[in-house]
Amino acid sequence: MAVFRIEKNSDFTIMPNYPFRDMRLSFKGRGLLGTMLTLRDDWDYTLAGLTKISPHGKSLLATASVTLGGCFAVQGIQVREGKNGVFVSMPQRKDAKGKFHDVCFPTTAEMRRAINAAVLGEYERTAQPRASVLKALREKAPEPDKSAVKVKNRDKGAR
């Protein structure tokens, strides 16, 4: 098998592997970290700055999948923060006019209450472990060898 090597001199990022091998981080968390490491040094590393580049916006707290009766799965359920508190949003698609439509939804109030209770209950149940993992990552993350980690991003254009 042939090996092709390409010399990169601009618009690339060299990152340590340890955060990407940390099984406590979700794939979304690893992707967010990778994205943040590719941004310019003067970029706005705040919630407002992240919200600007996120396809999900500021209100997304979690995603969920639900299996109904052991025979029908619903993926892409979202837990969001709204004006009146946390709520469950069913999977949606945007039409050509930019309006969102539910892909699937409960047809009775009783089923909606059951799905909301299950999803929000699990979200609340896992809130403490999520906070513990984040705290552990902040406290115990190994300091990267500054000579081994080089971030090169000469692209000064708008993002």
Q: What is the pLDDT of residues 103-128, one digit of tens each?
A: 999 999 999 999 999 999 998 888 76
Kindly list the structural domains of the chain, giving each domain's residue range(s) and its CATH number in brackets, ordered by start: 12-152 (3.30.1120.40)
Question: Of 34-48, 50-64, 95-109, 145-159, which has the strongest mean pLDDT?
Answer: 95-109
d(CA 120, CA 126): 10
Res. 81: pLDDT tops 80: yes
Strands of the sheet with 60-68, listed across from one edge: 60-68, 72-82, 85-89
Residue whose tokens read 């089923």: 111
Helix residue spans in 38-141 (DSSP H): 47-53, 109-125, 127-140
pLDDT tens for each residue of 87-99: 999 999 989 998 9
Average pLDDT of span 82-88: 90
Res. 148: pLDDT tops 90: no
User: Is 12:151 a contact under the CB 8 Å cutoff?
Assistant: no
Res. 156: pLDDT tops 60: no
Nearest to 30 by CA among 43, 18, 44, 42: 18
| Other beta carbons less than 10 A from residue 119's beta carbon | 23
Contacts of residue 40, defined as CB under 8 A and 6 or more positions apart, other chains included, come to 153, 155, 156, 159
pLDDT of residue 107: 93
User: Is 19:138 a contact under the CB 8 Å cutoff?
Assistant: no
Res. 152: pLDDT tops 70: no
Res. 155: pLDDT tops 50: no
Task: State the number of CA atoms in the 13 A half-sphere of 143 facing the CB.
Answer: 3
Backbone angles phi, psi at 84, to 5 degrees: -105, 15
